[in-house]
Amino acid sequence: MSKYLKTVDSEWFRQRLTVVMLCVSMAALVLVVRLIFLQIVKGQEYRRMSLNNSIRLQSIDAPRGLIYDRHGNLLVDNRPSFDLYISLKDARPVEETLGRLAMHASLPQDELVERVAGVRGAAYYRPQLLKRDIGRDALAVVASRRYDMPGIDFQIQQLRNYINSGLAAHLLGYIGEINTKELQQDVYADSRPGDLVGKFGIEKSLESYLRGERGGRQVEVNANGQVVRVLQTVPARSGQNVYLTIDRRLQQRAEALLQDQAGAVVALDPNSGEVLALASSPAFDQNDFITGLSRDKWNALINNPLRPLNNKAIQGEYPPASTYKIINAMAGLQEGVITENDIIFCPGHYRFGNRSYRCWRRGGHGSVDLNKALAESCDVYFYQVGQRLGIDRLAWYAKAAGLGAKTGIELDHEGRGLVPTADWKQKRFGIAWQPGETLSVAIGQGFNLATPLQMAAFTAAVANGGVRYRPTLVKRVVSGEGDEILDNTPRVVGRLPVSAANLALVKKGLWEVVQGERGTARIARLKGTDISGKTGTAQVVGREKLEESEGGATVRKYMDHAWFVAYAPSEAPLIAIAVIVEHGEHGSSAAAPVARELVKTYLEGAPSDPVVAADAGDLGHG
Amino acid sequence: MVDRRYLTYFDWGLLALTGMLAAIGLMTLYSAVMAGVPTPQEALFTKQLVWYGIGLVAMLVCLLFSYKLMERYAWLIYSGSIVLLLWVMFFGKYIGGSRRWIVLGPVSLQPSELAKIAVIIVLARYYAKYVSGRGFTFKSLQVPVIMTLVPFLLIVRQPDLGTAGLIGLIAASMTLFVKIEKRTLWFILGSGLAMALPMWFFFLKEYQRQRILTFINPDRDPLGAGYHIIQSKIAIGSGFLTGKGFLEGTQNALSFLPEQHTDFIFSVLAEEWGFMGAVILIFIFLIFIFWALNIAYSCRDPFGTILAVGITAMIAWQAVINMGMVMGLMPVVGVPLPFISYGGSSLLTTMICVGILLNISMRRFMIE
């Protein structure tokens, strides 16, 4: 102890403590001076402001960004909506005020009362939303009787407006009030209860661009809650405008072609992966979600067996059926199990183990080479190619073609489809792979599942010579001031594992499907433009069951799904398409004409005649 | 057995000042949670009473041992608080976006509060050992800087910038008190400036600069901090000379004063008791601080002196920052007003601090 005292003594500490006391006294003095300023100099003014708690915050909502198609046609904008608000503190007695409001504006009083029933705490002093979008007539009445109804106010809010009602409903999506679960997520950190946020489709996935930044005002209000002075304002920043890759005219055409059917269409630009059209049928009207959906309408939507709320283009998982033969042919050539000229004889069935596997043409195709096998979609040919490849090699090529994985398009709820392997089956069911199952898989049946988007993306890769692009819906994002925020460039995600020579052989077969003498999709021919494609007919139930039911009237829900994938023009493709029509029976009759019309619309730039019902005499088969 | 001299030397004055602050605190809290609020929160008042009881016990426990034991066990206390901070980092309870709390049955504790005392003790030990009239140099400051930085960074990560900053301020105050050698001081100030300027102009992004400016001047954010400050200023200003009277504050409704029972409780007092009440509170705080500094002076043991100065610095900084903040003189940071603000951990810490001061005070005869 004494050692320390040699160097510092209490006198040294005393000096330093004196300085500390001086500092503390200075700080206290500053606080007292500040109190004199606040409480005595400005006291009267603050007392007045405090009398009716007169400083309020008002938020200024940011207009949501607009959505355009690739050519700058406006698809989604905002329209003004007049919303009624109530400041409960100023509206006392609340019941009476609401009664008068209900009478003047002819609104249901119960609904208004219910809306403010549970409001207490801080919210009691802030304006509460009573009713959205009351319309101009009601607004006029409310505005002229405001002094009769203290605490009642209206605000003009921007309401989302889908210009072509129902167009691209699944793709654009809709917005709605934020829910508690979303409020806890980081993405919505700046959002508050009651905010409208994207709920589905592009509105949801591009929320952060579209939303903008809320502003606000500090205002002084009088005893009736009316603004007498604006103290400070922070302007809102409007959301950013989004240009989609879709072509409005093509989208409209696609939806018209699917009218009254359940199905989906995806059209891509094969040279960039940009989605030109993405339609799912039946659809719904997004504007219903904005103005409030009645319980009946909602029930009708969710109980509809054709699942209108489901985006079949990305969520629908179907057996790819004969469209899968493109992959099978690619794999067979590349692995050397077949060559262009190898001939397989098709008697109409193929015996394997103790079972007979049928070709769709009972009479058989006779001698079949690769070209004929693709053009006429011979099952027996592809049974044998698949058998030579084995399930795991087939699966490898299917995965390399993008099946069994999400494409990464900017939409939620995308399905991954399924590429079955022996391992997968063992894990999933605990049963070993049966060699016969490889045969089903080889013609795209069995456990195989793919979404229309996956098939379109694969077709695009075949069309452009093997480059797999990530399908995208967003062309660019531009700020309200016109600055480029995002310029979406094509993103290559892989290449088809096939040599140029082998791919050319496959493409020749696909050309034959439409343009050849005996092709299964001659119905898709278009004057002046060569189209290449492949039909598919996905079984919904086993053939035995279907035949059973054929005794009576054919039950629609047992009927096959019709596929058609195509690209055009064959030589230098500008568009790749996948079409599925649920229970459309044959790819050729139900799906191929849709693709033909879309090619025509896109390439010729003019709408053509309505689709003619399939000509029964000209039926091919998937 | 208990030395009779302990009673003779017992610091009744400090205890009386503590009692006054506690009384003012409880009264103001009662008003803050009960008056004019749509849903009264009696439970908060009862809880605070219980915490005062616990604090009193903790204070008495602090008297049982000589504060010199703290010098011996400084490292143990320090490591213990670091372990708790690490614990809370991994297993703490998330409340409002940060991990600050350890939940033990019905009570939750903030280890960062304990860390404040631990840093004071460990720094006091170090400085007492090496203090000399010449002041500390760059080399001899390395250890205290590290000892401060470890809990500081752990608390920043929670994140609780208010408490972290407070620890920095306390450590800086203690260091200045034991004197920094002149050249070292200039070097620190100079290099601090030399680093801050290019940082500001070259490294910070525009939005980060905006955020700092808004932090310094809340008026730049009229919808957030600025709104709270203007409401707080209205509350204080409307108190006028004599105030609106107990339980009569009108700004004191949940919507107008944010957290009016914790960080903004001074506004409630100033609104209800006016200029007179507010000045009386500031005056009592001032006497309390002078009293505590006098304890530091009368203690003839450098560790005791520096410990008392550190504890006083903690209470003084919190009081000045909190009151400065609600009056719109300082950035809005979450620092409670000692004795007055609602909050168990903070109150417990404050009462332990009073206990340590009483301890130092009543053992001053042992040196002479």
State the pLDDT at residue A621: 43
| Smallest Cα distance from B283 to chain A, Å | 8
User: Strand A67-68 and strand A241-244: pairing?
Assistant: parallel
Mean pLDDT to the nearest integer, A6-35: 89
Q: Whole-angstrom Cα distance, residue A197 to residue A192?
A: 10
Handedness of CA B48, B50, B56, B58 (dihedral sign): negative
Cβ <8 Å between A13 and B256: no
DSSP state letters, B150-174: HHHHHHHTTT-HHHHHHHHHHHHHH
Task: Determine contact: A38 vs chain B, CB below 8 A.
Answer: yes
Looking at chain A, the whole-number percentage of residues with pLDDT higher than 90 is: 55
Q: Tell me if residue A565 falls in helix, strand or coil.
A: strand
Cβ <8 Å between A10 and B297: yes
| Smallest Cα distance from A29 to chain B, Å | 9
Average pLDDT, chain A: 86
* Three state DSSP letters for B67-106: CHHHHHCHHHHHHHHHHHHHHHHHHCEEECCEEEEEEECC
Most confident of A298-302, A582-586, B104-108: A298-302
What tokens appear for B101 in the block? 């709390």
Q: Whole-angstrom Cα distance, residue A411 to residue A391?
A: 31
- In degrees rounded to 5, what are phi and psi of residue B205? -80, 160
Residue bearing the bigger pLDDT, A448 or B1: A448
Give chain B's radius of gyration (CA, Å). Answer: 21
Q: Is A322 a catalytic residue?
A: yes
Q: Whole-angstrom Cα distance, residue A441 to residue A421?
A: 10
Q: Which residues contact A84 (CB under 8 A, 6 or more apart)?
A: A101, A105, A129, A130, A131, A134, A142, A152, A153, A154
- Assembly ipTM: 0.92
Give the end-to-end CA distance of chain B in Å, rounded to a whole number. Answer: 21
DSSP state letters, A57-94: EEEEPPPPPPEE-TT--EEEEEEEEEEEEE-TTTT-SH
pLDDT tens-digit profile of A64-112?
999 999 999 999 999 888 888 887 877 778 888 888 888 887 788 888 8
State the pLDDT at residue A611: 42
Query: Which of 92-151 (A) contact B at CB < 8 A?
Result: 120-126
Q: Whole-angstrom Cα distance, residue A468 to residue A407?
A: 10
Task: Determine contact: A50 vs chain B, CB below 8 A.
Answer: yes
Q: Do the first three CATH levels of A56-244 and A248-618 match, i.e. the same topology? A: no
Q: Tell me if residue A16 falls in helix, strand or coil.
A: helix
**Peptide linkage before B38 cis (omega within 30 of 0):** no
| Smallest Cα distance from B293 to chain A, Å | 7
Q: Whole-angstrom Cα distance, residue A400 to residue A326?
A: 13
State the pLDDT at residue A104: 82
Q: Which residues contact B9 (CB under 8 A, 6 or more apart)?
A: B361, B362, B363, B364, B365
Cβ <8 Å between A14 and B275: no
Q: Whole-angstrom Cα distance, residue A567 to residue A11?
A: 96
Residue A146 has pLDDT above 90, yes or no: no
CATH superfamily, with its number, for domain A248-618? DD-peptidase/beta-lactamase superfamily (3.40.710.10)
Residue A6 has pLDDT above 60, yes or no: no
Cβ <8 Å between B230 and A20: no
State the pLDDT at residue A619: 37
State the pLDDT at residue A1: 42
State the pLDDT at residue A118: 73
State the pLDDT at residue A319: 94
Residue A5 has pLDDT above 50, yes or no: no
- DSSP secondary structure code for residue A322 in this structure: G
Task: Determine contact: B368 vs chain A, CB below 8 A.
Answer: no
Give the end-to-end CA distance of chain A in Å, rounded to a whole number. Answer: 101
Residue bearing the bigger pLDDT, A287 or A128: A287
State the pLDDT at residue B96: 62
State the pLDDT at residue A509: 95
Domain range list for chain B: 4-366
Query: Which of 291-310 (B) contact A at CB < 8 A?
Result: 293, 296-297, 300-302, 305, 309
Q: Give the HSE-up count for residue B299: Cα atoms under 13 Å, Cβ half-sphere.
A: 28
Answer whether 0.90 is exceeded by the pTM.
no
Q: Which residues contact A422 (CB under 8 A, 6 or more apart)?
A: A391, A392, A432, A433
Residue bearing the bigger pLDDT, A216 or B307: B307
- DSSP secondary structure code for residue A492 in this structure: E
Helix axes B265-298, A10-35, angle to 10 degrees: 160
> Which chain A residues contact residue B289 at CB under 8 A?
24
Q: How many CB atoms lie within 10 A of CB A392?
A: 12
State the pLDDT at residue B16: 96
Query: Which of 145-204 (A) contact B at CB < 8 A?
Result: none
pLDDT tens-digit profile of A592-618?
999 999 999 999 874 444 444 333 333
What tokens appear for A72 in the block? 């700058």
pLDDT tens-digit profile of A492-532?
999 999 999 999 999 999 999 999 999 999 999 998 899 99
- In degrees rounded to 5, what are phi and psi of residue A129? -70, 125
- pLDDT tens digit at each of 368 positions of chain B: 457 778 788 899 999 999 999 999 999 998 888 765 556 678 889 999 999 999 999 999 999 889 999 999 999 999 999 999 999 888 877 766 677 778 776 777 788 888 999 999 999 999 999 988 888 988 889 999 999 999 999 998 887 888 899 999 999 999 999 999 889 899 989 988 888 888 888 777 776 777 778 777 777 777 777 777 888 888 899 888 888 878 777 665 444 555 667 888 999 899 999 999 999 999 999 999 999 999 999 988 899 999 999 999 999 999 999 999 899 888 888 889 999 999 888 899 999 999 999 999 998 876 54
- In degrees rounded to 5, what are phi and psi of residue B273? -110, 0
Q: How far is CA A74 from the centre of its chain?
A: 18
Residue type, A260: D
Q: Whole-angstrom Cα distance, residue A169 to residue A411?
A: 13
Q: Match domain A56-244 to its CATH number in 3.20.20.70, 3.50.50.60, 3.90.1310.10, 3.40.50.2000.
A: 3.90.1310.10
Q: Whole-angstrom Cα distance, residue A551 to residue A546?
A: 9
Which member of A272, A322, A377, A588 is catalytic? A322
Residue A217 has pLDDT above 60, yes or no: yes
Q: Tell me if residue A560 falls in helix, strand or coil.
A: coil
Task: Determine contact: A6 vs chain B, CB below 8 A.
Answer: no
pLDDT tens-digit profile of A342-381?
999 999 999 988 889 999 988 899 999 999 999 999 999 9
State the pLDDT at residue B166: 93
Average pLDDT, chain B: 86
DSSP state letters, A199-260: EEHHHHHTHHHHS-B-EEEEEEE-TTS-EEEEEEEE--BPPPEEEES--HHHHHHHHHHHTT
